[in-house]
Amino acid sequence: MRKVKSYFDEGYNWVVDIDLANYFNTVNHELLLNMLREEVKDERLISLINKLLRSGVLVDGLIGFTEDGVPQGGPLSPLLSNKYLTRFDEMLESRGLRFARYADDCNIYVKSKRAAERVMTIRPASLRMS
């Protein structure tokens, strides 16, 4: 909140709310686990997270296996999302944008309507995670 307040104090009064549509359902497990391995050296923890990711979901009384995606609403989801979306943050920073993100919720702060319209033209192709 302090960061967001400082953006407003600096004149960044226009907010673009970014919706990462279907984010939680589309996380690539292998890519996420490799990102985690960069910082987590305990392979037992990586294996436990892998089991969580692949544990499946209950739909209409039937278990559906999950090949991608991160469970929503659990205590681990925001942590995994923040790690996975680090590259998204780096892309925003490389463009000189001011933003605040928590899990898949992101607001970008700009100084004018025109700048907000420019931000809204960022294409998903420029956000590739691989």
pLDDT in tens, 68-80: 888 887 788 888 9
Instruction: For residue 18, name the pLDDT band (cuts at 50, 70, 90).
Output: confident
SS (H, E, C) 54-119: CCCEEECCEEECCCECCCCCCCCHHHHHHHHCHHHHHHHHHCCCEEEEECCEEEEEECCHHHHHHH
Residue 129 has pLDDT above 60, yes or no: no
In the block, which residue shows the tokens 């037992």? Answer: 44
Provide CB contacts within 8 A for 52, sequence distance 6+: 71, 74, 76
pLDDT at 120: 85
Instruction: For residue 130, name the pLDDT band (cuts at 50, 70, 90).
Output: very low
Residue 46 has pLDDT above 90, yes or no: yes
pLDDT at 123: 62
Tell me which amino acid residue 86 is: T
Length of the chain counted residue by residue: 130
Residue 19 has pLDDT above 90, yes or no: no
Q: Are 107 and 17 within 8 A, CB to CB? A: yes
Distance CA 2, CA 15 (A): 16
Distance CA 108, CA 110 (A): 7
